[in-house]
Each structure stands twice: as structure tokens, then as C-alpha cells.
């Protein structure tokens, strides 16, 4: 039933409400904030102004009116929503729709401008994701969330959702609905007392309870009940803590401690104000005593043996006014052997059905009775879950799915009978329907199902090949310097300490199998090297513009140390971010943003270069040319910062430049114009780099979503990914597809920072999409695909399984991705959930960085293996470099058991990679050689672009222990 029941919040004075039906307009005139009961569900079954529908992925739903003793929080009735989502796939939902006053079915109008919507919901101990849909004046739909996907509701709980201030009214509440996306269940929820909340108050509800009409001369003490969001039950407030009043004290008075005394015939409004919110009751005083019409006994429908609960009894007056008479009611059990009674406490004894009867007697009106049917039964199964299933290897050892149930009293325990298992895609994995034994058949992602007593639960399964150790794979790590995330340590400005820490960091990364580092050398329009364009970074020396105290060049030092370990070094820049604040005057003297203050835009508490200004774009390119000219970098790297990520309600102030563009005849929309500004920076950097050194790589690591297939920002695009997350294309104006098409990058490394199966942005969905993207759209030249991984998320929500990250690495390998980059170094080196161990296991064999043929370059000449010799620490190899032609950057050592020459086509026989030295004779000691074994070795030479020479002539040696060397 549609209701306009108003509860008042006092802002500056105590307002006495004259009627429950006080119009909102008059309340506003009195400078008050109101709460309105939007739907009380007392008789919607007959009025038909509330109805239900289901999504396509639902077997059955039913919406009925439930009456006490069923779960009801207010009055005598609530809405009972039964649903069955089992045996369905996709997103399942059960919708409660609201008709408007004129009978239209597209939502019910909210009066005024409420700030929140709240209501009571009764659950069965499951996770309930409850949402709503609002419509603005134009019919545009906005979702709101009353709970999250992880909210467990057991019994009653009050939930609420904010109404976005940006929605233009009049606003309608179209529907409230329950939704499930993965684990599918069946069950029942009850919803009661939907309220619109106006303004800000800590209290969602304030109610005068246990109050009814009175007889002259009678006294009565009501209860004051307060509710906050998340409460399981209302809290009783001591009446002496509230401001109490009667609008007509000559009819009835209320004392400071809450005793109402009826004095004369008539009516009055009893008001209680607490924490700024007012609760009121229209009290009638007559010459006759109020007569209770019926008794209602409420309590649970079931118990387990030894469980003890309390029942309640309510006397009903005037049709729907309830007074708690539990203390005055005598309760009995039809069979004490099944359930015993002690006052209002009921205790389960043994299995069976029993009736709990209540008897309420008054001298004037005799005895009222009511009863409650109760079943004592085994523990109620609240939910089921599949455990011990996450990933499996193709043709590997089987894994076994196990099902656990959570029971209302006993908690979690295994379910070993009555379970039927199945799998969504039998081409990827097979499962024994009875035992749950799973075999991986082919790489891919599928879903395992378990059915138990009508409930179905699902769990995603990732199947990959065993660790493959490809010969060519980039294994990168980001070294972040902004905020001193990875290096140097926060507060450490001592050059010697910085160098020692960086050497240790590289040693640790090398031990993990990393062969390329992406080090941030320009985090905030500053430098980790002497620059004519940007000042020294305060992340390095503690103060912007101040050089290291001993004059060392960190960039030159880092490149040298990386190359010693056969790691590529990519100089990582953030070209647009100027500062983590907006104070231009706080920048160093001579800073380009301080000298040219028209170049910058403050946004979201930070300072950015404006990509629309040609001088800015030129300056960025010139500063990158400086790096390429002066340093032996292997690549220039950008991350995901272009235009800043949106900050709610704030506009990026480039209107002057856009208006000038339009005035000059420009035709592009604002979004396309911004994307073109970014495109000019990207293409300009590519050209600048290649003009300086054609072999230096240029790559970008953008946010992981280009465009969603169904985009709210840009409309439907069937070539977008099957995701619903933020889009680079419309959020930061980055059109990665265009960069790939035009060959403006040598590699793209999307930050796919999400777990397998995530509804909004699943890892496997995005890897597959990007793989197709580079294969389909790389028109000018091939573009390598590296996947960016969020190692910093390991152990957080969605990343609790220890194989999440290793499985991602294997999945990328299975799909022919050229490599992976891990963010960030210190996060995975800390080994959360054994992440570092998993990386080392995946990267157990060395790997060469994939060749980019379009960059040119030739293989070095074949080295001459001059000696294999037993020494005390292993087998010593010496070979002679041929420095004519392409200069070797490093060498690869291969070893095979026996006298057969090792293969150089895979990593099977690869032992190590060794950095080239300036010496003509190169040296390596194989410390893993086992005495008594016979090995055959070959050596190859590799260029800086990873083009490998032919293998040297082989050399065979029987390994012997050597005690002394001379």
C-alpha cells in the first residue's frame, strides 16, 4: 500500500507534529527534514500497486504478502519474495516493481528530494546483493546498492542506499531487486517498511511503540525505538533521554520519564525527540478502555536440538496497533519432549513438530490465545560452497572438489552425501559426478557445479598447461619511484645507501627470473638524472631541484647495473603529471610548469600539463629525446596517465583551447579532440625516439579496458571487450587501438589488474581481447603484447588463492602473450601468499626477450668455445667473442647430458645467460654441474635486440671433482 506517513527531524527547535499525514511542503516551511514511509506492505496483495518479475536467468520467483507470525518488522504484514536461481547461468534477478499513484507501471514517484532510501530485509544467512533502480525526469536509469555482493543477512537487518545528488527530479523508484551472478541459490527474503529519508541523520527510524488509545484516568508507558543502518533490531531508548511532549496536555500528559496519563476526552499528539529526529503518535482518549482484538505469538519456524530462542506475544488494538504483552503471556508446549518452555524461552529437545501456545488474560476482557507451529529438526543448511578447486594442469594430477555446508547452528562442515558434480565445459575439464575428481583437458576457464538438496553452487576453474618455460618471453617488473614505492627507500637520500639498495633490488629481481625492468625516472615532471628540461626529483634527494650529494647519475648507474644482469632497462616516464599537489609556487625555481603557468591545469588536487597546448607536447618530446640521446636505454615507457582519471563533479579546464579549436573551424567533439591531443603526444614520442636511435623501443601500459562492448559513455561497440569497467577511451582519452593500428608503439602492456572471473573485468576475458586486438589491428608493424599484473593485490579480496597470480602467468603463456610485467617489485618480493615462490617456479628457466624484427638488427657472429675445464666450483667455460659486425650484448650457455650436442631451439638445455664483457675471452663457471656426469656444451651470442647467433662448436666433458687449482 502506498503510504505518506511523515516522521519529523527537528533542526533548530522542537516541532510538534499534528498528524501522520502532514504534507511535506508544510514540513519544509517549518525548516524541518522529514522521513516518509514509501511502502508498508500492509495490503499490497489486494491493491496490486507492488508486483514482481524475474530475469531470464531465474527458474521461479513469487511475491506474496506475509502476515504475522511470519517475519514482519512493522505492523502485521511484510513482502515475502521467494526465488529459485538454481540450475541457471548468467546473472539472475528477482524484481519488486512499484506502480505510481496513477497506476503507471514504470516506477513510483518519490516526493521531494530524499537523500536515502532504506528498509528492513530478513534473510536466511546467505549473501544477498540487493539493488535498486531510480529513474530521473527523462527516464534515465541509475542503479543504487543497498548491500554488496559479500553482505550476509541472517534474520532482520536495516539497509539503505544514498540517492545520487546529480539525479534530476522528479525521481522514481522503479524497482528493488535481488541479484546473483555466480553461486546460485534458492530461498526466501522478507522486505518491510520502505522509507524515504530526507537530509542527514544518524537515525534511519525513530518510533513510539507499545502505545494505543487510552481511557480517561489510565496511565501507560510506551517504548521508544531507534534504528541505524545495519542494525539487526531497533534499539530501545530510555524515554528520559528524549524530549517528550503532548500537543494537548489537557487531554493527556506525558512525564519526563515517559508515563502518559489520560486526563480528558479528545486527541493529542505525543512526540518524542531524540538526536534531532522526532517520533509522534496520534493518541485518542475515550471514556472506554481499549479492547485487545487478538493475540499474535511470533517466533522461529524451526529449532535444532539444544537451541534456545525467545518467543513474543503481541496484543492487537484498532486493527494494526501492536502492544508487546510477552511478559503477561503464559506459554505452553504441546510436547515438552520435543520442545520445552521456560517463561518465553523455548528450547529444542528432540526432532518433531510441536505447537507453542500463548495465553494472555485480563480481568476486564478475559483470555486471548494464539499459537505457533514449530519444528525441531536437524540443522538448517544455510549455504554451500565448493572448496579445494581453483586451477588444474592439462594432463596433470587430478584435483578433487569438496563441498562444505554452513548450518544455522553447527556452522561449517563437509557434505559427503547427496552431492552431484558437473562442469560447464567438458572440453576444458572432466569431473566425476559422484566423487568430484577433476582432470584438466585443455587450457581455458570453465565452471564447476555442485548440487545439494536443490541448492546449486559454482566455482570457477582455471586450466592451464604445466609451466612451459618459453624460450622467448619478457619477464618484467615495474620499479616505482613516486611516493618511494619501490626505490629509493622513503627518507633515504644517501647516495651510497641508494646504490646499495638498488643493487640488492636487482639481485632479488634476477633471482626471481626477471629479465627487464621498467624504472620510473620522471614520476612528476622531474628527473632521476641531470636534465636540461626538468629538475632533480624530490623523491630522490628530498627536495626538488637538488642534486645527489656525491654527484652520481642514478639513471646511468641503474642502466649499467641492469645490463650487468642481462636485464633490459626501460626508462619509465609520466609526461603529463606535474605534481601531487596544485601549488605551482612550491615547484623548484626554473621548473617549466612554474615558468609557463599557462601550461598546467589543477585537477583533483593534483597538477597536470595540458595536452592541448602544442608547446607542452613539444617540450615532452624534447625531454624524451634528451634521455635517448644521452643514455643507453633499451626502451621508453609510459603508463596509464594521460588526461587525469575523472573526479566526480570536476571538469578538466581546457575549455579555452577547445573553444579556440572550434573557432578555427575544428569539427571534432570534445572527446575526439582530447584523444587527438594524446595521439599527437604518442606519435610524436615514437618519431622522436626512432629519429634518435631506431633500436630503442617505445611502449605504453594503459588501463586494461579500451572500450566496453556495451558502453554507457560511448554507446554500443561490438568490438569492445565483454566488460563493464572504466574505459580508457572515454575516461582518460586514450585510444590504444589507433596506436596499434598506426604502429606508434612497439609493445602494448595493458594493466589487467583483475582476477579470473571478475564480473566487471575478468582477467581471462581481457587477455583474450588484447591478444585478438594486436593480431587484428597491428597494420603498420607487429606490436608485442605484454600483460601487466597486479601483484600488489595478492592476498586481498578476490586474490586470496595462492595460485591466482601464477595461474595468470601460465594463462598468458598458453595464449601466446609475449610476456608479463609485475607491479610492483617490492610487493611481490615480499612473497605474499608465496607469490614470489610461484613466480620463481614459473620462471625457473632463463628466457630471452622476444625479438622485434621491425627494429632491424642482425645476429652477432658465432663465438668460439675455446675451453671446458673441471674446476673446484664446477665446469669452467671459456669462449672467444667475434666482435666484428653486430656486437654481442650477452651470451647463452646450453648444456645437454651425454655426448649429444644440446638443442638451442627451446629452454630445455638452457643453463644461463651471461652479460658480455669488454674482454675478448669470456668466462663462465657452471656451478650446477654434477661430478660423475658427462655434459656437452655450446654457446651462442645475442645482440641487444635479442637476435641470437648460431651455436658454437660443441665441447664434451666428464665432470670430475677438483681439489686444488693452480
DSSP 860-911: PPPPEEEEEEEETTEEEEEEE---SSSPPSEEEEEEEESSSPPPSSSSTTEE
| pLDDT over 60 (residue 16) | no
CATH at 758: 3.20.20.80
Average pLDDT over residues 803-822: 97
pLDDT of residue 779: 86
Location of C-alpha cell 655426448: 899
626 in any annotated domain: no
- Give pLDDT tens digits for 478-510: 999 999 999 999 999 999 999 999 999 999 999
Per-residue confidence (pLDDT) for residue 250, from 0 to 100: 97
Question: Which of 276-280, 851-855, 893-897 bottoms out in mean pLDDT, i.e. has the lowest?
Answer: 276-280
pLDDT at 181: 83
Residue 528 lies in a domain: no
Residue with cell 507534529: 17
For residues 324-343, average pLDDT: 96
Name beta bridge partners: 472: 848
Cα separation values, 694 from 447, 468, 629, Å: 47, 32, 11
Domain range spanning residue 888?
Answer: 858-958
651 falls within a domain: yes
d(C-alpha 903, C-alpha 908), whole Å: 8
Q: What is the CA radius of gyration of the chain?
A: 36
Is 627 within the bounds of a domain?
no
Q: Report, as an integer, the average pLDDT of 770-795.
A: 95
Does residue 766 sit in the same domain as residue 833? yes
**Cell numbers standing for residue 327:** 511478559
Residue 920 pLDDT: 87
Phi-psi domain of 343 (left: phi exceeds 0; alpha: psi -120 through 50; beta: other): left
My answer on whether 762 and 872 are in the same domain is no
pLDDT in tens, 707-729: 999 876 677 899 999 999 999 99
Cα(721)–Cα(710) distance, rounded to whole angstroms? 9
Residues near 698 by beta carbon (within 8 Å), at least 6 away in sequence: 635, 636, 637, 685, 686, 689, 690, 744, 745, 746
3-state DSSP call for residue 434? coil
Confidence of residue 23 (pLDDT cuts 50, 70, 90): very low
**Same domain assignment for residues 173 and 229:** no
> For residue 368, what is the domain's CATH number?
2.60.40.1080
Condensed to tens digits (0 to 9), the pLDDT of residues 919-949 reads: 889 999 999 999 999 999 999 999 999 999 9
Residue in this structure with the C-alpha cell 618480493, named with its chain if needed: 829
CA nearest 547: which of 532, 530, 571, 522? 530
CA atoms within 13 A on the CB side of 283: 36
Tell me the pLDDT tens digit for each residue of 60-80.
Answer: 899 999 999 999 999 899 999
Which one-letter DSSP state was computed for residue 849?
A: P
**3-state secondary structure (DSSP) of residue 793:** helix
Give the DSSP letter string of 498-552.
HHHHHHHHHHHHHHTT--EEEEEEESSS-BSS--SSSPBPHHHHSSTTPPPTT--
pLDDT at residue 442 tops 60: yes
Q: What is the CATH number of the domain that holds 954?
A: 2.60.40.10
CA dist., res. 223 & res. 218, Å (int)? 17
pLDDT of 6 reads: 34
Give yes or no: residues 88 and 190 share one domain. Answer: yes
Which of 171, 197, 223 delimits the end of a domain? Answer: 197
Per-residue pLDDT band at 56 (split at 50, 70, 90): confident
Q: What is the pLDDT of residue 794?
A: 97
923 and 824 assigned to the same domain? no
Name the β-bridge partners of 154. 124
Does 459 fall in a domain? yes
So what's the pLDDT on residue 484? 96
Provide the percentage of residues in the chain whose pLDDT is more than 90. Answer: 80
Instruction: Write the burial class of residue 771 (CB in 10 Å: 0-12 exposed, 13-18 middle, 19+ buried).
Output: middle
What cell does 736 get?
Answer: 590504444
CA dist., res. 789 & res. 795, Å (int): 14
Write down the pLDDT at residue 17: 29
pLDDT band at 884 (very low <50, low <70, confident <90, very high): confident
Task: Give the SS3 label for residue 785.
Answer: strand
Instruction: Give the model's pLDDT for residue 30.
Output: 39
Do the beta carbons of residue 35 and residue 6 sit within 8 Å? yes
**Whole-angstrom distance, CA of residue 879 vs CA of residue 123:** 74
The pLDDT score that the predictor gives to residue 362 is 87
- Model pTM score: 0.76
For the chain, how many structural domains are there in total?
6
Closest to 641 (Cα-Cα) out of 613, 597, 607: 607
Backbone φ, ψ for residue 531 (5° rounding): -135, 145
Q: How confident is the model at residue 965 (pLDDT cuts 50, 70, 90)?
A: low
Domain end residue (candidates: 286, 308, 331):
286
- What is the Cα–Cα distance from 175 to 107, expressed in whole angstroms? 7
pLDDT digits (tens, 9 = 90+) for 394-439: 999 999 999 999 887 778 899 999 999 999 999 999 999 999 999 9
Cα dihedral 693, 697, 702, 705 sign: positive
| Per-residue confidence (pLDDT) for residue 34, from 0 to 100 | 59
Do 102 and 160 lie in one domain? The reply is yes
Instruction: Identify the CA nearest to 131 among candidates 119, 115, 113.
Output: 119
Contact 262, 216 (CB under 8 A): yes
Same domain, yes or no, for 351 and 394? no
The set of cell numbers assigned to 954 is 660443441
Q: Does residue 542 form part of some domain?
A: no
- Which of 776, 809, 842 is at the close of a domain? 842
CATH of the domain at 131: 2.60.120.260
The answer on 123 and 31 residing in a single domain is: yes
Is it true that the peptide bond before 494 is cis, omega within 30 degrees of 0?
no
**CA 952, CA 964: separation in Å to the nearest integer?**
29
Do 758 and 823 belong to one domain?
Answer: yes
Express as a percent the part of the chain with pLDDT over 70: 95
Q: Does one domain contain both 367 and 403?
A: no
Compare 23 and 675 and report the one with higher pLDDT: 675
Would the pLDDT of 2 be above 60? no
Residues 191 and 214 occupy one common structural domain = no
What is the pairing mode between strands 214-215 and 172-180?
unpaired
Calculate mean pLDDT across residues 539-564. Answer: 97
614: left (phi over 0), alpha (psi -120 to 50) or beta: alpha
The mean pLDDT of 203-226, rounded to a whole number, is 94
Query: Is 623 a domain residue?
Result: no
Q: What pLDDT is attached to residue 966? A: 53
Point out the least confidently predicted range of 374-383, 477-486, 762-771: 374-383
Is the pLDDT at 31 greater than 70, yes or no? no
pLDDT class of 9 with cuts at 50, 70, 90: very low
**Residue 15 pLDDT:** 26
Domain presence at residue 523: no
Q: How many helices (H) and strands (E) does the chain have?
A: 15, 63
pLDDT band (50, 70, 90) for residue 28: very low
Antiparallel, parallel or unpaired: β 214-215 and 277-286: parallel
Query: Is 21 a residue whose pLDDT tops 80?
Result: no
Rounded distance, CA 502 to CA 561, Å?
9
Mean pLDDT of the chain: 92
391/407 same-domain check: yes
Residue 11: pLDDT above 50? no
> What are the backbone angles phi and psi of residue 944, rounded to the nearest 5°?
-65, -20
Using DSSP's 3-state secondary structure scheme, residue 657 falls into helix
209 versus 104: which is more confidently predicted? Answer: 209
Amino acid at each position: 500500500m502506498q503510504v505518506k506517513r511523515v516522521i519529523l527531524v527537528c533542526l533548530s527547535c522542537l516541532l510538534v507534529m499534528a498528524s501522520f499525514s502532514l504534507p511535506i511542503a508544510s514540513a519544509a516551511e517549518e525548516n524541518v527534514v522529514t522521513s516518509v514511509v514509501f511502502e508498508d506492505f500492509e495490503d499490497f496483495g489486494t491493491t496490486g500497486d507492488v508486483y514482481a518479475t524475474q530475469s531470464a536467468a531465474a527458474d521461479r520467483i513469487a511475491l506474496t504478502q506475509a502476515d504475522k507470525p511470519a517475519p514482519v518488522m512493522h505492523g502485521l504484514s511484510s513482502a515475502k519474495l521467494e526465488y529459485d536461481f538454481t540450475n541457471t547461468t548468467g546473472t539472475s534477478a528477482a524484481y519488486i516493481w512499484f506502480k505510481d499513484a496513477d497506476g503507471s507501471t514504470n516506477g513510483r514517484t518519490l516526493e521531494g528530494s530524499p537523500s536515502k532510501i532504506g528498509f528492513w530485509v530478513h534473510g536466511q544467512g546467505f549473501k544477498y546483493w540487493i539493488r535498486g533502480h531510480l529513474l530521473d525526469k527523462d527516464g534515465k536509469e541509475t542503479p543504487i546498492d543497498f548491500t554488496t555482493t559479500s553482505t550476509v543477512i541472517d534474520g532482520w537487518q536495516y539497509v539503505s542506499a544514498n540517492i545520487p545528488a546529480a539525479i534530476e527530479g522528479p525521481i522514481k523508484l522503479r524497482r528493488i531487486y535481488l541479484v546473483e551472478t555466480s553461486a546460485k541459490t534458492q530461498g526466501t527474503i522478507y522486505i518491510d517498511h520502505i522509507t524515504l529519508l530526507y537530509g542527514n541523520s544518524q537515525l534511519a527510524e525513530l518510533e513510539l511503540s507499545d502505545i494505543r488509545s487510552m481511557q480517561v484516568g489510565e496511565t501507560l508507558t510506551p517504548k521508544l525505538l531507534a534504528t541505524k543502518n545495519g542494525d539487526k533490531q531497533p534499539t530501545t531508548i530510555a524515554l528520559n533521554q528524549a524530549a517528550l511532549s503532548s500537543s494537548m496536555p489537557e487531554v493527556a500528559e506525558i512525564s519526563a520519564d515517559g508515563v502518559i496519563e489520560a486526563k480528558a476526552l479528545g486527541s493529542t499528539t505525543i512526540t518524542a525527540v531524540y538526536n534531532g529526529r522526532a517520533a509522534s503518535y496520534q493518541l485518542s482518549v475515550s471514556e472506554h478502555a481499549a479492547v485487545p482484538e487478538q493475540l499474535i505469538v511470533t517466533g522461529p519456524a524451526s529449532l535444532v536440538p539444544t537451541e534456545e530462542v525467545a518467543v513474543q506475544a503481541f496484543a492487537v488494538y484498532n486493527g494494526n496497533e501492536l502492544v508487546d504483552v510477552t511478559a503477561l503471556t503464559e506459554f505452553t508446549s504441546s510436547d515438552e519432549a520435543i520442545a520445552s518452555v521456560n517463561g518465553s524461552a523455548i528450547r529444542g529437545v528432540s526432532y518433531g513438530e510441536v505447537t507453542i501456545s500463548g495465553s494472555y488474560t485480563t480481568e476486564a476482557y478475559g483470555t486471548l490465545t494464539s499459537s505457533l507451529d514449530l519444528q525441531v529438526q536437524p540443522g538448517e543448511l544455510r549455504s554451500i560452497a565448493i572448496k579445494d578447486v581453483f586451477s588444474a594442469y592439462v594432463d596433470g594430477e587430478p584435483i578433487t572438489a569438496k563441498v562444505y555446508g554452513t548450518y544455522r547452528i553447527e556452522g561449517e562442515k563437509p557434505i559427503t552425501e547427496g552431492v552431484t558434480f558437473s562442469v560447464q565445459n567438458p572440453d576444458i575439464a572432466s569431473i566425476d559426478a559422484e566423487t568430484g575428481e577433476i582432470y584438466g583437458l585443455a587450457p581455458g576457464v570453465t565452471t564447476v557445479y555442485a548440487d545439494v538438496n536443490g541448492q546449486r553452487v559454482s566455482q570457477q576453474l582455471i586450466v592451464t598447461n604445466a609451466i612451459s618455460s618459453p624460450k622467448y618471453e619478457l619477464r618484467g617488473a615495474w620499479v616505482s619511484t613516486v611516493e618511494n614505492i619501490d626505490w629509493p627507500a622513503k627518507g633515504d637520500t644517501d647516495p651510497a645507501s641508494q646504490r646499495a639498495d638498488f643493487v640488492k633490488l636487482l639481485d632479488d629481481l634476477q633471482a626471481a627470473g626477471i629479465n627487464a625492468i621498467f624504472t620510473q625516472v620522471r614520476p612528476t615532471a622531474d628527473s632521476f638524472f641531470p636534465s636540461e628540461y626538468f629538475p632533480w626529483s624530490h623523491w630522490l634527494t628530498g627536495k626538488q631541484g637538488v642534486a645527489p650529494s656525491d654527484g652520481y647519475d642514478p639513471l646511468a648507474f641503474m642502466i649499467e647495473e641492469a645490463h650487468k644482469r642481462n636485464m633490459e632497462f626501460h626508462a619509465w616516464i609520466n609526461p603529463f603529471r606535474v605534481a601531487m599537489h596544485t601549488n605551482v609556487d612550491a615547484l623548484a625555481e626554473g621548473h617549466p610548469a612554474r615558468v609557463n603557468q599557462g601550461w598546467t591545469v589543477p585537477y583533483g588536487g593534483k597538477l597536470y600539463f595540458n595536452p592541448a597546448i602544442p608547446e607542452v607536447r613539444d617540450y615532452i618530446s624534447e625531454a624524451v629525446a634528451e634521455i635517448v640521446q644521452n643514455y643507453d636505454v633499451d626502451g621508453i615507457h609510459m603508463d596509464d596517465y594521460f588526461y587525469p582519471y575523472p573526479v566526480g563533479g570536476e571538469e578538466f579546464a581546457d575549455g579555452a583551447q577547445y573553444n579556440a579549436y572550434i573557432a578555427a573551424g575544428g569539427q571534432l567533439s570534445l572527446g575526439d579532440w582530447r584523444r587527438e591531443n594524446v595521439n599527437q603526444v604518442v606519435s610524436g614520442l615514437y618519431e622522436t625516439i626512432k629519429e634518435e636511435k631506431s633500436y630503442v623501443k617505445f611502449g605504453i601500459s594503459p588501463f586494461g579496458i579500451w572500450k566496453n562492448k556495451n558502453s554507457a559513455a560511448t554507446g554500443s561497440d561490438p568490438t569492445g571487450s565483454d566488460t563493464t569497467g572504466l574505459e580508457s577511451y572515454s575516461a582518460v582519452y586514450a585510444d590504444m587501438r589507433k596506436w596499434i593500428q598506426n604502429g606508434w608503439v612497439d609493445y602494448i602492456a595493458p594493466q589487467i589488474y583483475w582476477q579470473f572471473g571478475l564480473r566487471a573485468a575478468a582477467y581471462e576475458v581481457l587477455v583474450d581481447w588484447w591478444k585478438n586486438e594486436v593480431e587484428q589491428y597491428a597494420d603498420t608493424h607487429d606490436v608485442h603484447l605484454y600483460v601487466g599484473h597486479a601483484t600488489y593485490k595478492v592476498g586481498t579480496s578476490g586474490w586470496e588463492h595462492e595460485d591466482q597470480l601464477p595461474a595468470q602467468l601460465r594463462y598468458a603463456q598458453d595464449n601466446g602473450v609475449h610476456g608479463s610485467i609485475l607491479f610492483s617489485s617490492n610487493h611481490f618480493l615480499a612473497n605474499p601468499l608465496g607469490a614470489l615462490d610461484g613466480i620463481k617456479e614459473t620462471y625457473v628457466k632463463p628466457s630471452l626477450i622476444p625479438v622485434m624484427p621491425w627494429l632491424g638488427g642482425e645476429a652477432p657472429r658465432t663465438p668460439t668455445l675455446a675451453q671446458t675445464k673441471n674446476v673446484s666450483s664446477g665446469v669452467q667455460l671459456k669462449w672467444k667473442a667475434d666482435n666484428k659486425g653486430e656486437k654481442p650484448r650477452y651470451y647463452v650457455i646450453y648444456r645437454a647430458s651425454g655426448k649429444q650436442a644440446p638443442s638451442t631451439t627451446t629452454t630445455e638445455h638452457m643453463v644461463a645467460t651471461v652479460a658480455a664483457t669488454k674482454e675478448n675471452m669470456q668466462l663462465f663457471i657452471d656451478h650446477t654441474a654434477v661430478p660423475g656426469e658427462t655434459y656437452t656444451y655450446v654457446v651462442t651470442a645475442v645482440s641487444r635486440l635479442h637476435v641470437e647467433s648460431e651455436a658454437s662448436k660443441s665441447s664434451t666433458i666428464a665432470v670430475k671433482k677438483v681439489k686444488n687449482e693452480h
